[in-house]
Structure 1
């Protein structure tokens, strides 16, 4: 497996873990912005007040993606690859996320205890903290799209699972057609590490949260650091 595929797998581990700890610890999806859109629409429809974090997560995601794209354009014009700066941005945002949690726990701030799923953090401190993780995942979405060549999305498992099953079905029904099986086999090989990575990342984070509490929030940060280590060098934005 080449380093780009390894990086994609590590990024999916990061996204899965960030989504899980965000949901369990703060009641908010951090990587799955579609989920936040659906929940916000549901709350509006039934007249239930939405948390500030839920409301802000969507425009924040949009702004961070636009900013990351603009910075990437600047780096490109200067002949610099954007991959590693974006990975650093993700790491620093997740460091801020965990750092605020550690400080909040140390001084006893409210809003850092486990929350009802989808309830959102009840305090300003909790809101700012979880939105740093949302920003980090917005950076990851951007870098996978514009700074990597080949890997599938690392945060959108609905599309990945659909493509994986279409390719797997082609492999199953086209046994006598090697030419048709070749692209399907390549698609399966491209997608499965990301699917498995996201699932494992979410599972590890949930288990860590159950056993370690707020210390589990360090898992996405550790995985983001691993992503920097395994990242290939010299990639240019497409």
Structure 2
């Protein structure tokens, strides 16, 4: 597993968890939380489920990112490592989500208290992942939102097509490889999550915890801020 870069695992898990939450929890985005503004409007207008979860997703996400940053800065000031403890926190959250799913799933009612609980736990886990990426893996493409990455891919392709300075073109090629890989891996995570949910709406929640455990031994080249 040490040969697999941490950002690759995070991208796969980001796509997997976001898709799984959407399918299993009434259209809840657990990673792309701002997308819940759209689905919240649809829930209110069309009577779709998980209204409360969609309403609380962004506040919970913000609070967890804030708290994880405070914890990280505290560890850093005390001369302790930051990246691995935060990965462990994310792992614990995903284990809790898997335990809820195995105990109370599948979630036929997205408005139930258990569906709300597992949704918020998954949102918290993805909040920790987003914080980890922004602080410790800032040179890597985002692992939970592909809009900006896709935009940069097309900009780089345009730069390459137009030619120009060799240094600029070389940088575009280098960036393009990393970003295309991130998008492909994220999309693969989405596809595998859909398949896993079809096969087992309950056991599909175990995979993110397994991936989070593997992330503890994944390859990290430049953990910025650690």
- C-alpha separation between the residues in 1 aligned to 2:204 and 2:91? 16
From the superposition, tell whether residues 114 and 21 of structure 1 become closer, same or farther in structure 2 (CA, over 3 Å).
Answer: farther
Asked whether the 8 Å contact 2:34–2:58 carries over to 1, the reply is no
- Equivalenced residue count is 223
1:162 corresponding residue in structure 2? 151
Asked whether the 8 Å contact 1:65–1:142 carries over to 2, the reply is yes
From the superposition, tell whether residues 42 and 103 of structure 1 become closer, same or farther in structure 2 (CA, over 3 Å).
Answer: closer
Asked whether the 8 Å contact 2:91–2:209 carries over to 1, the reply is yes
Q: Please list every run of 5 or more consecutive structure 1 residues that lacks an aligned counterpart in the other structure.
A: 106-111, 116-120
1:189 corresponding residue in structure 2? 177
1:118 corresponding residue in structure 2? none
Asked whether the 8 Å contact 1:31–1:155 carries over to 2, the reply is yes
| Cα deviations by residue, 1:170-224 (Å, 9 ceiling, x for unpaired) | 12221x6423311111210221221111100010010111122211111211211
2:18 corresponding residue in structure 1? 19
From the superposition, tell whether residues 40 and 148 of structure 1 become closer, same or farther in structure 2 (CA, over 3 Å).
Answer: same
2:166 corresponding residue in structure 1? 178
Q: Does 1:211 align with 2:168?
A: no
CA displacement at 1:38 relative to structure 2:
2.6
Q: SS state of the match for residue 151, structure 1?
A: coil
CA displacement at 1:226 relative to structure 2:
1.5
1:202 corresponding residue in structure 2? 190
Asked whether the 8 Å contact 1:76–1:236 carries over to 2, the reply is no
- C-alpha separation between the residues in 2 aligned to 1:122 and 1:140? 26
Residue pairs, 1:56-75, within 5 angstroms = 56-75=56-75
- C-alpha separation between the residues in 2 aligned to 1:76 and 1:177? 40
1:113 corresponding residue in structure 2? 107
What's the TM-score, normalizing by structure 1?
A: 0.85
Asked whether the 8 Å contact 1:95–1:221 carries over to 2, the reply is yes
Asked whether the 8 Å contact 1:81–1:237 carries over to 2, the reply is no
1:85 corresponding residue in structure 2? 85
What's the TM-score, normalizing by structure 2?
A: 0.90
CA displacement at 1:227 relative to structure 2:
1.2
- C-alpha separation between the residues in 2 aligned to 1:183 and 1:231? 23
Alignment equivalent of 1:137, drawn from 101, 126, 130: 126
2:5 corresponding residue in structure 1? 6
Q: Does 1:125 align with 2:114?
A: yes
Q: Please list every run of 5 or more consecutive structure 2 residues that lacks an aligned counterpart in the other structure.
A: none
RMSD: 2.3
Q: Does 1:146 align with 2:140?
A: no
Asked whether the 8 Å contact 2:61–2:124 carries over to 1, the reply is yes
